[in-house]
Chain A
Amino acid sequence: MTEKIKHSRFFLWFIQVLRVCGRELLLTFRDQGVVIFFLLLNAVYPVLYALIYNPEVVRNEPVVVVDDNRTAMSRDLVRRMDATQEVAIVGYAANMQEAQEAMHRKACYGILYVPRDFAQSVGRHEQGHVSLYCDMSVMMRYKAMFTALTNVTQAMGSERLAAIVEPVLNMSGSIIESRQVPVGNQAMGIASAVLLFILPLVLQQSMILGIAMLHGGSIERRRRNGGRDPLAIEAGVAATVIGKTMSHLIIYVIPVIYVLYYVPLMFDFPQYGNFLHVACMAVPFLIAVSLMGQTLQAFVNERESVFLLFVFSSVVFVFLTGASWPRYLMSRLWYVVGDCVPATWMSNGYVLIQSNGATLHQVSHHYWMMWLQVPVMYILAYLVERYVNRRRYRSWIAASEDNPRALTRIDLAKNGVG
C-alpha cells in the first residue's frame, strides 16, 4: 500500500511542491533584502505610521480674536472658545489687517471676528453674528475650529433660549434632547480610523515587494548563468506556484499576528473583535496576496526595480480601500478595481471586526470575496509562470547557446555602454 502511494503521481508532485517551498524559504532567509521586506518592513512601518498619527485629534488650534464689540458677552464667547479642547485663543488683534498679518505669519490658523453690534443685537432679540475665518490648508484644522465655534454658540444659545422661554412657556428650551454615540472609534481620532485600514495593506505590500525581489534575484542569476538559475528547483508550473505560496504563508504567520494583533494593542486602537475571526480572514487574504505577487512579478527584471514598480502602488491601494474617500462614492471603475485587490476586502473586514465588533459571519461577504480571488489569482499566476517567465527563460537559454555574452551585452547597452 505504502509503495503504491510512494509511486503515485500525486505523491511525487507533492514532494516537488515541498521542495519548492523549502527552497523558497531558504532563498528568503539567505537574502537580506527580502528579509527586510518580509519581516523588518512589517515590524517598523505600522509602528512608524501609528506614531505619526498617534495624537489622534487636533487640540488647541491657535486662533486670534478681533473683538469690535468688547462687552461682557463677547468676552464670554472668547473665554468659552479658549476653554474648548479644539481651540486656543492666542491673542487679540486690533483689527482684521493685524489678524490677517498674524495668519500669514502662521502665528494662528483662524480668526474669530466679533462685530461691533454683537451683544446689542442679542439684547434687542435679534440675532448676534459672529464670524470665523479658517485656514483651509488642512481639513482637520477647519473641522476643529468649526466644531468648537458651533458647540460654543449652541451652548450659549440654549442657555439664552431657556432664559427667555422658561417664564413664557413654563418649560426649558430643549424639548427633545439629543446625544451622539460614537461607535467603533470612540476616541473619534484619525489614527484609530485610518491605521486599521493601513495595517492589512502593509502586509500586502511587503509581501508583494518581497516576492518580486526574490524573483528579481532569480532573474539576475539566470542572466548571469545563461538563462538557468542554479538555485531554483526544476518543478512543474503548478508545483512551483503552490510551493512558493506555501512558503509565503509559513513566513507570514508571525507578521500577521504582530501587525494585526500586537500593533493595535500597543497603540490602543479599537479591538472589539475576536482575533480568531481576524486570523480566519487572514488565510484567504495571504493566499490571494501571494498569488497576486507571483502574478505581478512578471514586470520585474532586476531586484531593485521592485522599488520603482510597486512602492507607489501602496498609495493607490490605500485610496482604493476607502480609508480616506469612502468607497460608495467612487465611480464604477474604481469601485471594481478596488474589488480586485485583496487588501480592500481584508481592510474593510478587519475594520468592521476590530472597530465594530463584527463576527466572521457578519463579514462573510468580505471573507468569501477573498476566497473568490484565490482561484482567479491562481490562474493568473499560473499563466504568468508558464507563458511569461518560462518562455523568457527558454529564449535566454537559446540566445546564450549561440553567444555566451549575449545577455551581458543587452544589460550593458541599457546602462549606456556600447
Chain B
Amino acid sequence: MIAKYIGRSFKRGCIQLVRRPMYFLLIIILPILCCWFLMDLIKGGSVQRVPVGIVDLDNSIISRQVSRTLNGFQQVNICHRYSNFAEARDAVQRGEVMGFFLIPEFLEEEALGGRQPVVSYYVNYAYYAPASMQYKGFKTMSLLTNGAIVQTALRTVGLPNETIAATLQPYQTHVHMPGNPFINYNYYLNATFVPCFLSLFILLVTAFSLGMELKSGLSRQWLKTSGNSMFLALVGKLVPQTVLFTAVGWFIQWMMFRCYDFPLNCNPWNMLSAMFLLVVANQSFAVLMFCFVPNFRYGTMLCTLLGMVSFSFAGFSLPQEAMYPWVEALGFVMPIKYYFLIMVDQALNGIDLYYSRFYYAALLGFTILPMFLSWHLKRDCLNPVYVP
C-alpha cells in the first residue's frame, strides 16, 4: 500500500518537474552558469597590477629609481604620471587610478642631508581588495628606498654584507598560509560562494514548488495521491529535486576540485557527502519555513531573504568572531554555514573528521526537523488559502 502511494506521489513530483521548463532552468542551467560565472570572473586568482599614479615633485636620480622600482612590483602598475598633487587627486576622483605615490620636492637633498623627508602614498580604500594590494606594494617600496640608502651608508663604514642585511631587517617573518599558499581569491571566495549560490536555488525551487500547490489549490489532491501522509507527499515531491540538485552539486564540486584545482586535502567522500547533506538540509529548511508560514508569498519571501542574506552572515567575508553576536548567531541558522565550516575543516585544512562531527550532525538535524512540524503544513494543505 505504502509502495503504491510512494510511487504515485513520486510520479506526480516528476511530472511537475518535467512540465515546467523553469525547473530545468533553475535546477540545472542557472546554478552551473552562475558557478562558471564566478569561477571565470576570478580565475586570475589574486589582485595584481592595481592601476596607480605617481607624483614626482623631485625629479632626481633617487626619485626616478623609486618610480622605476615601484613599477616593477607585481602589486601595482603605474599607468599615469602627474605633475602635481591636484592632478593626481582629480584622477582618483575620476576613478582613473586607485591611488598614487607622492615623492616630495628636495627628496634627494634632504635624504642625503639627514633631514628625514616624507614620502606619502594615497590609497583609495573605497575599493577594498585593490587597496590592500596597493598598501603592500607602497609600503615595501618605501622600506626598500630607506634600506637602499642606509645600506650604502653602512657599506662605506666597512660593515660586511650579512651584517648589513641583518641590521636592516633584524626580524624576518615567515607567514604560512596552509591550504592556500598563493592567496588565491578564487579558492577562497568561490569554495563558499558557489555552494551558497546553489543553496539559494535549492531554497527558491523548494519554496516555489511547495507554494504552487497552495496557490493552485491542488494541495488536497497532492495529499490524496500520497494517502494523506504529509511525509510521503513531501518525499515524492522533493526526492526528484534532491537527485537533480545533488547531481548538479557534485558536478560543481568536480569543477571546483578537479578543473580549477581548489584545495582538497581530505577524502573526496567527505565533501561529496557534505554536498548531499547541504542539498537535503536546504530543502528541509525551505519546508520548515513553509511549516512556520504556510503562505506562498511570505514563505517564498522568507526563503529568499534568508538565502540572500546568508551570503553575508555566514561569515565568508567578515569573519564570524568580528560580527555582532546576534548576526553571528543568525549565521548558524542556515545550512550553508555548516557546509562552509566543513569545507574549511576538510577540504582546506584537511583535519580529522572528528572535529567536523557537529557540522555534519547539524546538517542532518535540519533534515529531521521539519518532520516534527509537518502537521502544521498538512493543516494548511487541507485548507489552502492563496493571498496574492
Q: Is the CB–CB distance between A196 and B172 below 8 Å? A: no
Q: Total contacts A to B, CB within 8 angstroms?
A: 355
Given A178-B119, A308-B208, A303-B34 contact (CB < 8 Å):
no
Q: Does B327 interact with chain A (Cβ within 8 Å)? A: yes
Q: Is the CB–CB distance between B92 and A132 below 8 Å? A: no
What residues on A are CB-neighbors of B49 within 8 Å? 329
Within 8 A of B (CB), among A308-338: 308-309, 311-312, 314-316, 319, 322-326, 328-331, 334
Within 8 A of A (CB), among B156-194: 157, 159, 162-163, 165-180, 183, 185, 188-189, 193
What residues on A are CB-neighbors of B254 within 8 Å? none
Q: Is the CB–CB distance between A126 and B166 below 8 Å? A: yes
| 15 A-B pairs (CB sep. < 8 Å) | A52-B312, A58-B319, A129-B174, A130-B172, A131-B176, A153-B173, A165-B167, A178-B120, A182-B125, A183-B125, A193-B127, A308-B204, A326-B98, A330-B41, A415-B213
| Selected interface stretch from A3-11, A136-144, A368-376, A378-386 | A136-144
Q: Which residues of B contact A (CB under 8 A)?
A: 12-13, 15-16, 19-20, 22, 26, 30, 34, 37-38, 40-44, 47-51, 90, 92-95, 98-99, 107, 111, 114, 116-132, 135, 138-139, 142-143, 145-146, 149-150, 153-154, 157, 159, 162-163, 165-180, 183, 185, 188-189, 193, 197, 200-201, 204-205, 207-208, 211-213, 215-216, 218, 221, 296-297, 300-301, 304, 307-309, 311-313, 315-319, 321-324, 327, 340, 344-345, 348-349, 351-352, 355, 387-388
What residues on A are CB-neighbors of B150 within 8 Å? 161, 165, 169, 173, 175
Looking at the assembled complex, report how far the CB atom of B188 sits from the nearest CB atom of chain A, in whole angstroms: 6
**Interchain CA distance A145-B12 in the complex, whole Å:** 55
**Interchain CA distance A188-B93 in the complex, whole Å:** 17
Q: Is the CB–CB distance between A33 and B297 below 8 Å? A: yes
Looking at the assembled complex, report how far the CB atom of A138 sits from the nearest CB atom of chain B, in whole angstroms: 4
Q: Is the CB–CB distance between A125 and B205 below 8 Å? A: no
**Residue in chain B with minimal CB distance to A159:** B170
**Interchain CA distance A180-B258 in the complex, whole Å:** 41
Q: Is the CB–CB distance between B145 and A176 below 8 Å? A: yes
The 7 A-B pairs at the shortest CB distance, nearest first, are namely A178-B142, A185-B125, A355-B126, A184-B126, A358-B93, A137-B344, A193-B128
- Of A51, A305, A362, A416, which is within 8 A of B93 by CB? A362
**Interchain CA distance A169-B312 in the complex, whole Å:** 54
Looking at the assembled complex, report how far the CB atom of A292 sits from the nearest CB atom of chain B, in whole angstroms: 19
Q: Is the CB–CB distance between B157 and A61 below 8 Å? A: no
Q: Is the CB–CB distance between B15 and A363 below 8 Å? A: no
| Selected interface stretch from A13-21, A240-248, A253-261, A406-414 | A406-414
Q: Does A304 interact with chain B (Cβ within 8 Å)? A: yes
Q: Is the CB–CB distance between B208 and A168 below 8 Å? A: no
Q: Is the CB–CB distance between A326 and B388 below 8 Å? A: no
**Interchain CA distance A181-B89 in the complex, whole Å:** 12
Q: Which residues of A contact B (CB under 8 A)?
A: 31-33, 36, 48-49, 51-55, 57-59, 61-62, 77, 104-105, 109, 122, 125-143, 145-146, 149-150, 153-154, 156-157, 160-161, 164-165, 168-169, 171-186, 188, 190, 192-194, 196, 217, 270, 301, 303-305, 307-309, 311-312, 314-316, 319, 322-326, 328-331, 334, 348, 351-352, 355-359, 362-363, 365, 411-417
Looking at the assembled complex, report how far the CB atom of A92 sits from the nearest CB atom of chain B, in whole angstroms: 19
What residues on B are CB-neighbors of A132 within 8 Å? 173-176
Q: Is the CB–CB distance between A312 and B175 below 8 Å? A: no
Given A194-B128, A415-B16, A308-B205 contact (CB < 8 Å):
yes
